[in-house]
Chains A and B, each alone.
Chain A
Amino acid sequence: MSETIEKIKQAKLEYKSDVKPTWCPGCGDYGVLASFIRALGELKIPTHKLSIVSGIGCSSRFPHFVRGYNLHTVHGRALPVALGVKIANPELEVFVIGGDGDGFAIGGGHIPHIARRNPDIVYIILDNAIYGLTKGQVSPTSTLTMTTTTTPYGALEPPLNPIMLLLAYGASFVARGFSSNTKQLTQLIVEATKHKGFAAIQVISPCPTFNMEITFDFVRERVVEIPPEHDPTNKLKAFELAMVQDKIYTGIFYREERPTFEGNLDKIVSKFDGNIDELLKKERLEKLFDQFA
């Protein structure tokens, strides 16, 4: 036990930046940050090989709190930014961290394309089913009829199902965690990082300030670990689990091995023996010019 505590202390020392989180007291995101740092410690990723990319939102402040070569970008665009980091330097461990609004509303158009490309990136979605940074507006995962500042008469839209979306779009690793179960979440992050391909984890991370429906108690009452007999390579079964509404399943829904996007891009470059020095580059350029004469 004391060894574990020592490891956690070490990880905090190594990975925590000196910028203090700005989250409200009691926010689920603290649990995710703790799990993330523990996972980094377990994976022994050096900070200079770490790149965390985020968009905008409470959870998107994440990269300020962890040491690494990080980007805090604009609303909804973290995934394509991360894709650029990964293809330019495949040796970096790239994480995208953001919320349900950043990912499923403004950034929703990018998920299908990152999922089908399958770069080796981990995407952690901190889902609190509300807009926190802008103080309490409805989100794509808010419940139907939920009262928020922009839905004073109740939300008219049913929530979308992130796990179903990720499965349908072709994410090669799909999991769900709960911010209060840091032990399980740490392991999910470790597994997602080890997975070669696009790995998405939806983390239910309640907002105690603005979401009075999806509270810690609400989640605790419903959360159930995916039964051990579930075969995560069975996509149909994964869909079935994702469709269950009265329980919140946590764990790994689905995983498959597929070539990565950056690997496929490298193959095209290798086909032409493209990694060449300046001298050979000039020679090739001359030849290419001659094709236009």
Chain B
Amino acid sequence: MSENGNLKDVVVRIGGEGGEGVMSAGEILTYSAARSAYRIFTFRTFPAEIKGGLAMYQFRVSPYDIFSMGDKLNILMAFNQEAFDNYSSALAEDGVLFYDPAECKPSDNFTKKKYEVPLRELAMASGTHLAKNMVATGFLTAILGIPVEESEKQIIDKFKRKGEKLLQQNLTAFRSGIEYAQKYLDELERFRLGKPEGKDKRIILSGNQAIGFGAIAAGCKVAVGYPITPASPILEFLARHLPKFGGKVIQNEDEISALATCIGASFAGAKVITPTSGPGLALMTELITYASMAELPVVIVDVQRAGPSTGMPSKTEQTDLYHVVFGGPGEAPRIVIAPAHVSDCFYQTVRAFNLAEEYQMPVIILSDQVLAYQTEAIPKPDIESVKIINRLEPDYESLNSYLRYKITESGLAPIAVPGHPGFEYIAPGLEHNERGAPNYTPKVHTEMQKKRFRKLEVLAEKLENENDDYYEVMGAEILIIAWGSTYGAVREAIKKAEMNGIKVSHYHPRILNPLPKRKIKNIIGSYDKVIVVEQNYNGQFANILRTFVDYNPIKLNNYGGIPFTSEEIYNKIIEVAR
């Protein structure tokens, strides 16, 4: 709570029958709030059936920075009985229920505060029962104190193409919702949001969309994929928008060919991306090692989902780490990056392209189902600040004979782009000499393995001196190490612990391979207790740390398919602090 007794942030869930406009109500509210500089996280589930079934839209809104979806609901807006039955238990102790008395009767044992909102009746009065979601939108706009004119603008944008009559009916419904809310305003003052910090207009993106934007900003020219939950929206986003930036997008016949086409295009000089999930990644694995061997830049996105095998495609997990770091025939260097939140998805994707170009190897972006679908109001990315790196090409005027795989100190040699006379070369999957010709001698294989891995060492050495991923708290005795989408829950758990007098530092590496080993040893060495938080059974990153930096941390794991709550992490902090 802030000084005036208002909540610092509000978690709202709207639930109803699929087709009742639950999603549009949520979208109008969140986009209006984002345009007015509020911070937003959203989460939604669609009914399993194409039509009908229970749908919900949840958002957390705050004038201040927030990092996650939040744990418990402050407000539940139930359009029907099913929404009440399924969601009322998610309400916080002091949470409130808004319900349509025509559609829903809260059970007798429901003891939290409840308020009637006659959605259907007010919608009918505005001319159509279909507008009950607009009544709810108006009602919540008033309760939360979201600027009315922004919500109206959203409604006008949404309905202007559907005719004047429908637009007016919806606006009337919206206004009647605001009107109806007046009688509760005093009693529900605590839900009114304060003025947002800062004035920056925010845009609402999902992690998948932010990755798509990152690819465009980085100069991606070819994207190839195969549909798979939860990665398909990246390919869909690029299919729609990449051609506007000179890019070509193909849905291929499988994931193997998707990566194959990317590799061919990269050889021909294009920046490339292929989005997939675990099962698709498994099919790509042989070609990942080919790209590593032939030293071609490619960016692969693995939007992790719960496995093994088909597992739970719409649930989340962080279980492909071993696969992306170690998987494949032979030992093939590759870079692994895990973005931590939606805005990070944009910047880490640009970085992935840059690293692929600079180090001439596959870069795998590890996202997951939660990060993929979660939307967040983020400051518009600063395109001017985005640095683009292109592959090192040879001096085409040079008369020296070109050695594509020349053994150098950094392991790097220039890549010739096809079309330049005198620089023809072959990109081989076979072990090869400096020219690319097959060679199986122990000397050449040893030297070439060293050369390829040296590139990773060069990068690791650079990472030793970067400190962006380390959130150090002076006087802390506990360190949490986490990666990927657990970032928000960890940040909020640490905030909560701090309010209760426990200081906790946080290390959240974005690059998971290679690792800056000395830096990690130094960080770990400053703490009594180190907890590694991750969503898998084995503690994959914890075990990697054990292997590479010889440290055995406390593990906090969750593998049910649902993301960590900050509560779970906070409880572990308390337990460890004792």
Contacts and interface: CB of A to CB of B under 8 A. Distances in A.
Interface of A: 19, 46-51, 53, 56, 63-64, 67-74, 77, 79-89, 91-92, 109-110, 112-113, 265, 268-269, 271-272, 274-276, 281-282, 284-286, 288-290, 292-293
Interface stretch (B17-25, B422-430, B510-518): B422-430
Given A69-B418, A80-B261, A84-B260, A74 B287 contact: yes
Interface string B482-500: 0000000000000000000
A289 B203 contact: yes
Given A70-B427, A77-B287, A113-B257, A88 B31 contact: no
A47 B402 CA distance: 15
Given A64-B438, A80-B257, A71 B427 contact: yes
Interface stretch (B162-170, B263-271, B302-310): B263-271
Given A73-B287, A81-B267, A84-B263, 6 more contacts: A19-B437, A19-B438, A84-B224, A286-B383, A292-B205, A293-B380
Given A72-B426, A84-B224, A110-B253, A281 B245 contact: yes
Interface in B204-226: 204-205, 209, 213, 216-217, 221-222, 224
Nearest to B217: A285
Interface string B272-288: 10000000000000110
A48 B244 contact: no
A64 B74 CA distance: 67
Contacts of A68: 424
- State the main secondary structure of chain A at its contact with B: helix
Contact of A73 (B35, B250, B260, B423): B260
Contacts of B290: 73-74
Given A67-B424, A271-B243, A274-B244, A293 B31 contact: yes
A81 B428 CA distance: 13
Interface string B27-66: 0000100110000000000000000000000000000000
A289 B381 contact: yes
Interface size class of B (residues with CB under 8 A): 35 or more
> Which 9 pairs across A and B sit closest by C-beta, in order of nearness?
A84-B264, A80-B257, A69-B418, A88-B268, A80-B260, A84-B265, A88-B265, A84-B261, A81-B264
- State the main secondary structure of chain B at its contact with A: mixed
Contacts of A110: 253, 257
A81 B263 contact: yes
B248 interface: yes
A290 B203 contact: yes
Given A288-B213, A292-B205, A71 B34 contact: no
Given A47-B421, A64-B437, A285-B217, A88 B244 contact: no
A284 B268 contact: no
A48 B245 contact: no
B286 A92 contact: no
A150 B217 CA distance: 52
A275 B264 CA distance: 21
B146 interface: no
Contacts of A85: 264-265, 267-268, 418
Q: Which of A46, A51, A74, A80 has the most CB of B within 10 A?
A: A80
Interface in B224-268: 224, 241, 243-248, 250, 252-254, 256-258, 260-268
A288 B242 CA distance: 11
B427 A72 contact: yes
B420 interface: yes
Contact of A92 (B221, B244, B419): B419
B213 to A, nearest CB: 7
Contacts of B244: 272, 274, 284, 288
